[in-house]
Structure 1
Amino acid sequence: MAGIGPAPKPDDQRRRRNATVAMTTLPAAGRTGPAPTWPLLDDVVLMTRAEAARRASDDLELLLLEPDLTSRKRAALEKRLETARIAATVLERQVASVREAEHTLWAELWATPQAVEWERLGWVREVAQYVRWKARAEAGDLDASKEARQLADRLGLNPLAMLRLRWKVASADEAEGSRAVTRPASGAVRAQRRLKVVDSDEAV
């Protein structure tokens, strides 16, 4: 008939224009178990810089051993040597501190609630790259701090990033409810035992 349109679709077939993606609830207690094996090689760039700085310092020391140096040249070399020694020492300590920070950060991050999703998604190397940049940032590398911030956003390591990923940490009530479902309270267990005793008596 004219003027009559198609029949409306059932409710379950209608397109929801304002549909939202469900939030993924992460356990408040975090991920359990050991961290994955560290997947990256040593920080070759930082180690190479430290080795080059130490070689430069050693070369200056050899130059100072030349017997025909004038006092003016010797003073200039000693000044350069002092600067080179400081640079080499700073880089060597940075290598050591970064290695220690990587080890600590790696263990800490894989115990967080977000680590549950990282493991499910297979983001092991991505987390390792964040750890590398973050460790270098904490050692004073400003460029590394920029890279670390970008990776932190991708991994959900701040509230806004978690919201974008549709992640949330379980509240205390949700965590308590989960424990109550998986492990009955002691009073409930005693009540069940009493019921079993009554049932057995009635059967007799």
Structure 2
Amino acid sequence: MASGGARTRSGPPPDPNALRRDRKSDGEWTVLPAEGRAGEPPAWPLVDHDDSAWGVRELELWRTLWAKPQAVMWERLGQELEVAQYVRRLVEVEQPGARANLHTLVRQLGDALGLTIPGMHTHRWRIADGAAEPRQSSVRTPAPPARTSARDRFRVIDGSAG
């Protein structure tokens, strides 16, 4: 039986808008362009399937994914093969009767590529303000100041002016 200790993704995910920003472990957040990656996608790196319908679907997903904001980082990190493997597995999952463990693998690959919210938080990526960004406020609104004296609190209760 395994004993305690740190585990992957244990605890709350990092929050780019957290009030406390002085933790060394928090690291820097990378802001991805809301408009996505510009230009043509890289060449498809995998061997094509025999079934032409699979190949058409793979290339459709490939083009769609390489236009996303996360693709800026994939290109920088040279993750063409990882994205292609995700695409191939995703096409397999779309088929009727796909194995349950394949669904889990696709989710994990999506997390690893930053295609999910938890995956983006793990990588400390956020999308710049724009239509593609998840709802997040970049500026926290401070709470209204608390009353400073007992006298002020009693004014509220009985309505007296002093």
TM-score by length of 2: 0.61
Distance in 2 between the 1:97 and 1:139 partners? 11
Q: Are 2:45 and 1:31 aligned?
A: no
Identity of matched residues, %:
43
Give the paired residue count: 108
The alignment partner of 1:22 has SS state of coil
Contact 1:22 1:166 in 2 (8 A): yes
The runs of 4+ residues in structure 1 deviating greater than 3 Å are: none
Q: State how 1:39-78 maps to structure 2 within 5 Å.
A: 39-43=45-49, 47=50
Q: State how 1:1-150 maps to structure 2 within 5 Å.
A: 18-19=23-24, 20-43=26-49, 47=50, 95-140=51-96, 141-142=98-99, 143-150=101-108
Distance in 1 between the 2:41 and 2:86 partners? 15
Contact 1:152 1:158 in 2 (8 A): yes
Distance in 2 between the 1:165 and 1:110 partners? 18
- The structure richer in helix per residue is 1
Match of 2:120 among 150, 154, 162: 162
- Give the residue type in structure 1 aligned to 2:119: A
The alignment partner of 1:172 has SS state of coil
Gaps of 5+ in 1: 1-16, 48-94, 174-204
For residue 145 of structure 1, report the CA deviation from its aligned partner.
Answer: 2.3
**CA offset digits 1:65-103 (Å, max 9, x no partner):** xxxxxxxxxxxxxxxxxxxxxxxxxxxxxx343222101
For residue 147 of structure 1, report the CA deviation from its aligned partner.
Answer: 1.9
Contact 1:97 1:139 in 2 (8 A): no
Contact 1:134 1:148 in 2 (8 A): yes
The alignment partner of 2:36 has SS state of coil
**CA offset digits 1:138-169 (Å, max 9, x no partner):** 12323432221111110001111100000000
Distance in 1 between the 2:41 and 2:117 partners? 23
Distance in 2 between the 1:132 and 1:172 partners? 30
**CA offset digits 1:102-156 (Å, max 9, x no partner):** 0100000000000000000000000000000001111232343222111111000
Q: State how 1:153-192 maps to structure 2 within 5 Å.
A: 153-172=111-130
- Give the residue type in structure 2 aligned to 1:98: W
Distance in 1 between the 2:41 and 2:95 partners? 23
The alignment yields a C-alpha RMSD, in angstroms, of 2.0
**CA offset digits 1:167-201 (Å, max 9, x no partner):** 0000139xxxxxxxxxxxxxxxxxxxxxxxxxxxx
Distance in 1 between the 2:116 and 2:59 partners? 21
TM-score by length of 1: 0.49
